[in-house]
Chain A
Amino acid sequence: MDIDVERKNETLIAQVTGRVDSANAREFEQALSSAIGDDRKVILDLGNLSYISSSGLRVLLLVAKALRNKGAEFALCSLSDPIREIFEISGFDKIIPIYGSLMEVMGE
């Protein structure tokens, strides 16, 4: 699992590549929390995420809650079909905004 971070138009965009499972969920959590600073808007681009299990969902929920507490915006984009299905079954699509593409969420 790799995370590439860039800042554009006062938005932090983190692109997640590879798999997030029980073996590396803690590493994923640490990488995300060190990448996210005082950003007011955070987007996770999951287009290159090949797999996520409930341990990864747990981390995303923690991040979503922390950002909400700070009054920051949080969104996900570019989920593959099987990953979108996992988000829907978990009811996460109702609490975290999910967009089709990075362009869509950036309003370009």
Chain B
Amino acid sequence: MNVKRSLRFASDLRELERIQSVIKELEKEADWPPDLVYQVNLALEELVVNVIHYGHRGDPNHEIAIDLNWEAEKLTIEIVDDAPAFNPLKDNPEPDLTSKLENRPIGGLGIYLVHHLMDEIQYRREQGRNHLTLIKRREQ
């Protein structure tokens, strides 16, 4: 079964609820397991919030596009935004995961979590837009 969804929304934290409801629809329609639902929710929240906060610096007059494609072997998600070039594969510092509680820096975990939860991430800059593709292979 192949299920697709496309979302276009303003660069605004209040739009996160729309992402959640699309994931809920896919969960029902494509019978997603709970851990996949969690991982997709988390990946989309972390990446979209990053674009809203750092890419568009809180300016809601920008559009973010998300396309989800659920196929036999994998889920592919593409996120497109018109923020300044940001390649999360290169431009994101590795977080400190080993310091003691007292010295552990606050923040910087979002994109790191996405790396761990997705099987593949690809980035390209095309016509002034960031295109981020996430791939999660289906468990057979």
- Residues of A at the B interface (CB closer than 8 Å) are 21-23, 51, 53-55, 57-58, 61-62, 64-65, 68, 81-82, 86, 89-91, 94-96
Contact = CB atoms under 8 A, between A and B. Distances in A.
A89 B109 CA distance: 9
A94 B112 CA distance: 17
Contacts of B104: 61, 65, 95
B72 interface: no
Nearest to B53: A22
Contacts, number: 65
Nearest to A88: B116
- Which secondary structure dominates where chain A touches chain B? helix
B38 A57 contact: no
Nearest to B39: A82
Interface of B: 13-14, 16-17, 34-35, 38-39, 41-42, 45-46, 49, 95, 97-98, 100-102, 104, 106-107, 109-110, 112-113, 116-117
Given A23-B16, A89-B116, A96 B46 contact: no
A81 B14 CA distance: 28
Contact of B101 (A53, A54, A96): A96
B102 A51 contact: no
A61 B106 CA distance: 7
B100 A95 contact: yes
6 contacts: A22-B45, A54-B113, A65-B101, A86-B113, A89-B117, A95-B104
